[in-house]
């Protein structure tokens, strides 16, 4: 029979899970919102301009073209909504910045690995993760998580 975890151990396990969930949520978000290879990332302004061009054409086209333009409008509006939502995810980003160095230290994750999966160098710098593998900020947090 296994010995029950001490209260301190339970807290450490819970904190490790919280950090892991935060990292996973952020990486999922980065994957969804990162630009696709070979394609320029549209801005809200770009999408608004496309919507204006479609609106200008809608009243002057035949019914089949109007149908196609209407579908394009629906798709562009959905893309615009996704982009606006992605731009508003600063809380998730801040939460990631707060735990990334501890996660990296505990799991041996290098700067290069973070960048390869899409994490911006600016975000890594804010998290205290440097190219040389040194953790500037969060070293105490990393040691606490590593003590689990």
Same-domain status, 14 and 51: no
Same-domain status, 23 and 66: no
Same-domain status, 55 and 70: yes
Task: Classify each residue of 61-94 as buried b or exposed e, where b means 16 or more C-beta atoms within 10 Å of its C-beta.
Answer: eeeeeeeebeeeeeebeeebeebeeeeebeebbe
> Do 41 and 35 touch, CB atoms closer than 8 A?
yes
Same-domain status, 30 and 95: yes
**Which of helix, strand or coil describes residue 135?**
strand
pLDDT in tens, the chain (148 residues): 677 888 888 898 888 899 999 999 888 878 776 666 665 667 788 899 999 999 999 989 999 999 999 999 999 999 888 777 766 667 888 999 999 999 999 999 999 999 999 898 999 999 999 987 655 544 434 444 444 4
Same-domain status, 104 and 83: no
Same-domain status, 49 and 30: no
Domain that holds residue 79: 43-88
Same-domain status, 76 and 101: no
Chain Cα centroid distance, residue 117 = 10
Same-domain status, 95 and 148: yes
Same-domain status, 113 and 80: no
The phi, psi pair for 7, rounded to 5°, reads -55, -40
| Overall number of domains in the chain | 2
Same-domain status, 75 and 100: no
Same-domain status, 53 and 68: yes
């Amino acid at each position: 029979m296994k010995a029950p975890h001490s209260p301190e151990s339970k807290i450490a396990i819970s904190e490790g899970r919280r950090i892991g969930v935060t990292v996973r949520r952020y990486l999922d978000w980065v994957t969804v919102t990162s630009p696709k290879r070979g394609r320029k990332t549209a801005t809200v302004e770009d999408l608004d301009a496309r919507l204006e061009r479609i609106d200008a054409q809608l009243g002057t086209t035949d019914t089949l073209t109007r149908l196609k333009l209407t579908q394009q409008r629906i798709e562009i509006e959905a893309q615009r909504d996704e982009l606006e939502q992605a731009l508003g995810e600063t809380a998730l980003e801040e939460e990631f910045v707060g735990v990334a160095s501890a996660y990296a230290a505990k799991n041996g994750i290098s700067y290069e690995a973070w960048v390869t999966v899409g994490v911006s160098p600016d975000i890594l710098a804010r998290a205290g993760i440097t190219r040389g593998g040194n953790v500037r900020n969060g070293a105490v947090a990393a040691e606490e998580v590593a003590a689990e």
